[in-house]
Amino acid sequence: MEKGINQCTIANPSPLGLLGFGMTTVLLNLHNANIIPLSIVIVAMGFALGGAAQIVAGIMEFKKNNVFGATAFTAYGFFWWSLIIIWINPFEGIAAADPISMGFYLLFWGIFTLLMYVSTLKHNRSLQLVFLTLAILFFLLAIGDFTGIHLITKIGGWVGIVCGLSAIYTSLAQVINNDYKKTILPL
């Protein structure tokens, strides 16, 4: 007999998606904060954990009928893949990204994230912190690209590190709290 949507027995995919997002975000923003160079390490993490793991988590959230999780993880997973395509520009005859185009790209992601943040007001404080800092990060990076002021991008990098670490914490708190069947790490 088939199980209905309300009887779904798959595990909570949120920790996987948050971990993929968080680790990749920290790594990229170590670059934005001028701590490490942009390298294959960031690209590979963006493709695998930032992109693929979040897309898998998003698809699992669809199965669980979680519209917020499905939208967030799937969208941000494809964000990482689109960012990698922008960086490597594999399409002959297509101009490379310029700062103004990147500014608009990041601005639209910031607007999307700000509106997703509104939905987190119905969720826990930890998730609210992830989305609020992510929206601020996107807006700072967009302003950095629009103005060419690298200090703004560098400040964004530090905000991104906080954002990524808060996502990692949220992920691992969900795993630990689930395993112990009580709140060990508050959300």
As given in the structure block, the two tokens for residue 151 are 């200090």
Integer Cα distance of 172 and 30 in angstroms: 21
User: CATH number for the domain including 140?
Assistant: 1.25.40
Judge whether 138 lies within some domain. Answer: yes
In the chain, the DSSP E strands lie at none
Judge whether 5 lies within some domain. Answer: no
Residue 1, pLDDT > 80, answer: no
Q: CA Rg, the chain, in Å? A: 17
Residue 163: how many other CB atoms lie within 10 Å: 27
Q: What is the pLDDT of residues 25-57, one digit of tens each?
A: 999 999 999 999 999 999 999 999 999 999 999
Amino acid, res. 165: L
Domain count of the fold of the chain: 1
Judge whether 82 lies within some domain. Answer: yes
Q: What is the pLDDT of residues 78-130, one digit of tens each?
A: 999 999 999 999 888 999 999 999 999 999 999 999 999 999 999 999 999 99
Judge whether 38 lies within some domain. Answer: yes
User: Domain range holding 129?
Assistant: 14-88+96-180
Integer Cα distance of 90 and 71 in angstroms: 27
Judge whether 110 lies within some domain. Answer: yes
Judge whether 8 lies within some domain. Answer: no
